[in-house]
Amino acid sequence: MSFKFPVGYHSFNDNNLLNFQLNRWYSTGFLGYDELKEVGERINSFESAKKVFKELGEEAINNNQWLVGATYLRGAEFFALGRDPEKNKLYDTCMKAYCKAYEDEPILYEKVPYDKGYLPIMRIMTDQPSKGWIVLHGGYDSFIQELYPFCKTFVNKGYDVIMFEGPGQGGALNEYDMVLTHEWEKPVSKILDHYAIDDVTLIGISLGGYLAARAAAFEKRIGRVVLYDIIYDFYNAFLCKFPKHLQILIRCFLPFKESYFWRKAEEKVADNLFLHWLILQGYHTFGVHSIWQYINSMKKYHTKKISKYIDQDVLLLAGEEDIYTSFFDKQKKALTHAKSVTGRIFTKNEYASHHCQIGNIGLALDYILDWIERKR
């Protein structure tokens, strides 16, 4: 199975969040332009998105289009928020479709014991003389199955790759109820122990840009670390989505768990699709039950205090239209003891200005590969 990363960021839907997600599945090459254009015209809410994606997923599977079906079901699961009773069933059906889609791929499915369950692994070995190990993980909401095209890019260039899901992600969350931890060095260390490997390149995608930085600060078997994208300060990046007066109120009421303010905030957040998804998905991922708990959890996810402990080669990626770009210089300056720091802000002209370079993933992966080659 070969993958191509199409170039371009398109207007599939008028809502920024829905449009970004549609572009996400377009940019990986899983779904085509015409079908996503049609989908974009049919959805205007989480409920309609879940319904449409579920219908299209089931239809694709009935036609033996396993990867298309898995992708649509992943979309349905993505839009099944909070305690939606369909979420677990959608996850199970989606995983079965991915397994069928990849059944002829040279993937070793493994599990590494961790805490009260296991960390799901997809390990792929190159058929060339190996250039070393790349360990790759996602962030807030990813499944490793949807990152397989990324993995194939590295394997085809001569690297052995381990993709894993840690607490709060994919199977670790949905099968073993392990919620997200900011102490990401713990699952990474377990994986390096299990495979007895060192001098690895660690790549963290999306919120993984914080997680990978945290792991590199405390796990020195990591030789190089790629923050794809940077997440210097998750809490303040979240806060900047609110008007100034609300930012002030949130900061003022944060010490008061039982304040009426939080009850009103729960009601108002539904007016903004991005914040509504982020928070309800956060309840699921962090294992919390209120917006007050969620905001206090997210405050742990910053690299301000731990960046000084990172002494490896570091690659920083960001897009000029991403909410995290404003922290790019702060993150770069905070890496006071890094062996080297390389960074790039991708532009709109490159079709790579959005989060994780959705619109031109191939450009970002080529840049990462070139950097690894030079630093290896």
pLDDT band at 243 (very low <50, low <70, confident <90, very high): confident
The residues with which 292 forms a beta bridge, in sequence order, are none
Does 195 score more than 90 pLDDT? Answer: yes
Q: What is the pLDDT of residue 151?
A: 95
Does 60 score more than 80 pLDDT? Answer: yes
Domain boundaries, the chain: 16-101, 108-233+302-375, 235-298
Fold of 16-101: de novo design (two linked rop proteins) (1.20.1440)
| CA triple 193-198-200, angle to 5 deg | 115
Q: What is the pLDDT of residue 282?
A: 87
Rg, the chain, Cα only: 20
pLDDT band at 70 (very low <50, low <70, confident <90, very high): very high
Name the amino acid, one letter, at 229.
D
Handedness of CA 243, 244, 248, 251 (dihedral sign): positive
Q: What is the pLDDT of residue 260?
A: 85
Which residue would you say has higher pLDDT here, 275 or 237?
237
Domains 16-101 and 108-233+302-375 alike in fold: no
What b/e readout covers 31-68, taking b as 16+ CB neighbours within 10 angstroms?
A: beeeebeebbeebeebeebbebbbebbbebbeeebbbb
Name the amino acid, one letter, at 258.
E
φ and ψ at 216, to 5 degrees? Answer: -65, -30
Which residue would you say has higher pLDDT here, 210 or 254?
210
pLDDT band at 326 (very low <50, low <70, confident <90, very high): confident
Cβ atoms of 309 and 217 closer than 8 Å: yes
Tell me what the mean pLDDT of segment 97-123 comes to. Answer: 97
Give CA separation, 288 vs 144, 182, 192, 208, 281, in Å. 24, 14, 30, 20, 10
Does 239 score more than 90 pLDDT? Answer: no
Cβ atoms of 164 and 121 closer than 8 Å: yes
Contacts of 73 (CB under 8 A, 6+ apart): 53, 54, 57, 58, 61, 90, 93, 94, 97
Q: How many helices (H) and strands (E) does the chain have?
A: 16, 8
Cβ atoms of 179 and 173 closer than 8 Å: yes
Does 242 score more than 80 pLDDT? Answer: no
Residue 368: both structure tokens together: 């990462």
Judge if pTM exceeds 0.85: yes
Cβ atoms of 29 and 5 closer than 8 Å: yes
Does 328 score more than 90 pLDDT? Answer: yes
Tell me what the mean pLDDT of segment 137-164 comes to. Answer: 95
What b/e readout covers 80-91, taking b as 16+ CB neighbours within 10 angstroms?
A: bbeebeebeebb
pLDDT band at 81 (very low <50, low <70, confident <90, very high): confident
Q: Which region among 18-27, 164-173, 174-183, 286-295 has the lowest average model confidence (pLDDT)?
A: 286-295
Handedness of CA 9, 11, 12, 15 (dihedral sign): positive
Write out the E strands in the chain. Answer: 108-114, 117-124, 133-137, 160-164, 200-205, 222-228, 313-319, 340-346
Work out the mean pLDDT of the chain and round it to a whole number: 94
Residue pLDDT, tens place only, 333-359 = 999 999 999 999 999 999 999 999 999
Q: What is the pLDDT of residue 359?
A: 97
Q: What is the pLDDT of residue 341?
A: 98
Q: What is the domain class of 108-233+302-375 according to CATH?
A: alpha beta
Contacts of 236 (CB under 8 A, 6+ apart): 302, 327
Q: What is the pLDDT of residue 238?
A: 84
Neighbours of 288 (CB within 10 A): 19
Residues in the chain: 376
Cβ atoms of 275 and 241 closer than 8 Å: yes
Q: What is the pLDDT of residue 263?
A: 81
DSSP 211-275: HHHHHHHH-TTEEEEEEES--SBHHHHHHTTS-HHHHHHHHHHTT-TT-HHHHHHHHHGGGSHHH
Q: What is the pLDDT of residue 233?
A: 94
pLDDT band at 271 (very low <50, low <70, confident <90, very high): confident
Q: Which region among 1-5, 169-173, 232-236, 282-286 has the lowest average model confidence (pLDDT)?
A: 1-5
Q: What is the pLDDT of residue 324?
A: 84
Residue 207: both structure tokens together: 């919120």
Q: What is the pLDDT of residue 2?
A: 74
